[in-house]
A = this chain, B = another copy of it.
Amino acid sequence: MALIVQKFGGTSVGSIERIEAVADLVVKTKQQGHQVVVVLSAMSGETNRLIELAKQIDSRPSARELDVLLTTGEQVSVSLLAMAIIKRGHSAVSLLADQVNIRTDNMFGKARIEEIAATRLKHELEHNRIAIIAGFQGRDIEGNITTLGRGGTDTSAVEIAGAINADECQIYTDVDGVYTTDPRIEPNARRMSHVTFEEMLEMASLGAKVLHIRSVEAAGKYNIPLRVLSSFNPDQGTLISFEEPDVQANIVSGIAFNRDESLIYVNGVHQGTENLAKILKLFAEFGIEIDMINQVNHNFEKIDYAFTVHTNDFEQALEILTSNQGGISAESIKGISNVAKVSAVGVGMKSHSGVASLFFNALADENIKVMLVSTSEIKISVLIDEKYLELAVRALHKVFLTENE
């Protein structure tokens, strides 16, 4: 008998028919002898419907009240699933954030979980009930309703799994796992049966979009194996755990990419770290996050910097730097918005030299110019012209991930 947390996203509970299918799946797990905790999103479309209602009243509605409004979406789905499971003759109970004591800070719309007491949840499990918990929501210390922001239900599921020391946290979604790269770009992309937390963190942050980075971090923190599965076809999936893949595994596990990057050059800055500090402070003041940073020293007096920012922040970042050009002593400031980042990720890299050589050769063979490079123990990332993105992904996938014939 294992204690399993199963999370279902909006499309998995998007209709009464889908909710019935989820009920069957949950009951099947229970009948296999496991204790089951279910964490749900709102039915797909519901959150947008509610946001529309709010926007009709105020284009910038009160953040506290928006959270009160949005959390009704999960409340609807958990009660409906509980009804469907009870109808199948099993004991089930829906629970909201306050009933599970999911305490967060008071950052409405993007709260972070601080503590989960879970006393009642454990009580329900001891009484052999299937607990169905509303994801995405919490309560601050004063009892106000909060929401966790993007990817919130994944985070709820993993944090709840941590609080009750679950054996596995299963994330059911509309894809059947994590792929070696996006199958829409590379038809030969394969589902990975197993990746490590470290690899998944790199994947998530690089745009794999299957799991939100915060939920992967949390699963790593609690050391709870995560499994990504399709609710339409739950027999396969991808396991994410601390276990290293076996020796036969590929050196590179996946090719990740991100189209939403833009590049900014700040050239001819006077020597001295204080100027870089000034630039970073400007970005921080306006809430602009920087991904890659590159520095080239021309001589003892001048430095060229290159930064990448999210494309949404590109115009503002350029404006801020330009209006402070004197303060940061830059000779010129310019930007390129149509760039993309491509990365090869894999724990196998740690023990294999020569990966970088293969990586750059593959790009060189296709005459793809690299604008910026960034590396870690388990990944190599490069910035390239966006129009070569698909070509680069396919070239790298072929070198590192095509099965030997």
Contact = CB atoms under 8 A, between A and B. Distances in A.
A53 B72 contact: no
Interface in A48-79: 50, 53-54, 56-58, 61-62, 64-66, 68-69, 71-72, 75-76, 78-79
Given A75-B72, A76-B50, A64 B93 contact: yes
Given A20-B57, A99-B143, A62 B76 contact: no
Contacts of A94: 65, 68
Contacts of A66: 79, 83
B53 A80 contact: yes
Given A64-B93, A143-B99, A58 B83 contact: yes
Contacts of A78: 68
A330 to B, nearest CB: 43
A336 to B, nearest CB: 41
Contacts of A53: 16, 76, 80
B98 A83 contact: no
A143 B80 CA distance: 19
Given A53-B16, A143-B120, A69 B80 contact: yes
Interface in A63-115: 64-66, 68-69, 71-72, 75-76, 78-80, 82-84, 86-87, 93-94, 96, 98-99
Nearest to A93: B64
A79 B75 CA distance: 15
A127 B28 CA distance: 52
B79 A68 contact: yes
A57 B87 contact: yes
A59 to B, nearest CB: 9
Interface in A177-231: none
A345 interface: no
Q: Assembly of this chain: how many copies?
A: 2
B79 A69 contact: yes
A251 interface: no
Contacts of A143: 98-99, 120
Contact of A54 (B20, B62, B68, B83): B83
A16 B49 CA distance: 13
Nearest to A50: B76
B69 A75 contact: yes
Given A16-B56, A98-B143, A143-B99, A62 B75 contact: no
A75 B83 contact: no
A65 B87 contact: no
A158 interface: no
Contacts of A68: 75, 78-79, 82, 94, 96
Contacts of A50: 76
Interface string A11-37: 000001001100000000000000000
A54 B20 CA distance: 12
A197 to B, nearest CB: 35
A72 B19 CA distance: 18
A126 to B, nearest CB: 15
11 contacts: A54-B79, A54-B83, A57-B80, A58-B87, A61-B86, A64-B82, A68-B78, A68-B94, A72-B75, A98-B98, A99-B144
Q: Which 3 A-B pairs have the closest CB atoms?
A: A72-B72, A68-B79, A69-B79
Given A75-B75, A120-B143, 17 more contacts: A16-B56, A50-B76, A53-B76, A53-B80, A54-B79, A54-B83, A57-B83, A58-B83, A58-B86, A65-B79, A65-B80, A65-B82, A65-B86, A65-B94, A68-B79, A69-B75, A72-B76
